[in-house]
Structure 1
Amino acid sequence: MREKIEGHIKTFVKEYPSKKATVTNWQEPLITYGDAKNPMFDKLKEVVTPSHALPTDFLQDAETVIAYFLPFEEAVVKSNIDGRESSEAWGRAYIETNQLIFDLNSYLHDVIETWGYKSTILPATHNFDPKLLISEWSHRHVAYIAGLGKFGINRMLITEKGCCGRIGSVVTNLKIEATEVSEEEFCLYKAKGICERCVKNCVNDALSIDGFDRHKCYEMCLYNDKLLNNMGVADVCGKCMVEIPCSYKNPIKKA
């Protein structure tokens, strides 16, 4: 069943730019699977927010959380290196990838239904508390539990294809074997005490080695949204993700 799911996801993403006439292109996705009954999901109520949802809040008989990473093409990442403001290409990629995630989840819902099972259609973003700025279904955290990657000090999930991209997730009552979770860190600072590039890249002093001011971060995102208001909601920044060792890969992994 893994092969079928992954085949559908990869084909959908590959064909999406031509079918939807997007400006953005994506690299091949990474897909992992988490056991919906993993007790770590309960811990998200402590780590993220007490109101964080469980897989069983979406489907009472949930068995699996499918998590996937959609890596941006290199041109999008490089476009966002210079300057204080987010590039237009980065903002466009954010908007188009959010739509891709919704469309992909809708497609998977229909495919899984033909197999006699159920799944969720979860949005990519904007499902957070506007005051606390905390999501009640954190795609990054559920993807971490599903073995998709490890958190860097920039609070982004570092996957085997880096952190520059978007994460989506699906809850289903289709049973799929869980992905083995790596024990090692992917962040150079967490693993070896070196790098700190993401902190140095932060343009609004929101990020430090020991902390993260989500309100300062979102302040910059809203600033960029005003600049990029000709394309839709682009409350993005991304400076802490570009031109760093984990932009495109897991920097710990040996070639």
Structure 2
Amino acid sequence: MASANTSWSEENFSCSICLDVFNSPVTTACGHNFCRTCITKFWDEQVQYKCPVSNKRFDIRPDLQVNTFLSELAAQFGTSVRVKEQPCVQPAEVPCDVCTGTQLKAVKSCLVCLISYCQTHLEPHQRVAGLKKHRLVEPMDRLEDRMCKKHDRLLELFCQTEQECVCQFCAEADHNSHPVVPLKEEYKVKTARLGKIEAEVQQMIQERKLKIKEIKDTVKRSKADADREIADGVKQGRF
């Protein structure tokens, strides 16, 4: 398979009519390339058939075939441009599980494939009929750990009685008499509770530090008073 020259710019793969990357490119007899749709529309509006670039006239309307080689190069160039425009994964972000080499930031996770995808590798899920049925969610790391082992469903609920994460099927069966809330809601509650505890602990630490400082200051003053009393005693001949 041919590979696009990385030193080529977008101009090498752009139609001079729509100024976008070629879509089903065709080549005229004078050697210029256009999107098939663009040149067809252009000729539909002309009395005489000519090349938009060189103005070369054709006696009859040319029957143009798609330039498969150029089409392949344009497709590869378009893909490489999309990849470059996508952000690389940063700390605390979910990486694409398909990327090799430099990992890009995942934009969706598939609960059927149990894989996270960047925008480029997500494309089959947006095009192929069978993959379109897969459930896509916001990027999530450790997908396998977030799935119910019994029902193979996302653990998106929290049982407050058992204090464990459950899926929808678990909630309707084994936990139907227990109070169950969305996992996100429980997370917010626990995060707020932890934040309060952390604030209380920090306050206790500050109070303890202040108390220690007061004790040290008291000891320091007592020592200074003792030293001063001894010095006065030496001067007065008591020692």
Question: When the two structures are superposed, what TM-score results if normalisation uses the length of structure 1?
Answer: 0.23
**Bigger Rg over Cα:** 2
Question: When the two structures are superposed, what TM-score results if normalisation uses the length of structure 2?
Answer: 0.24
Higher relative contact order (CA 8 A, sep 6+): 1
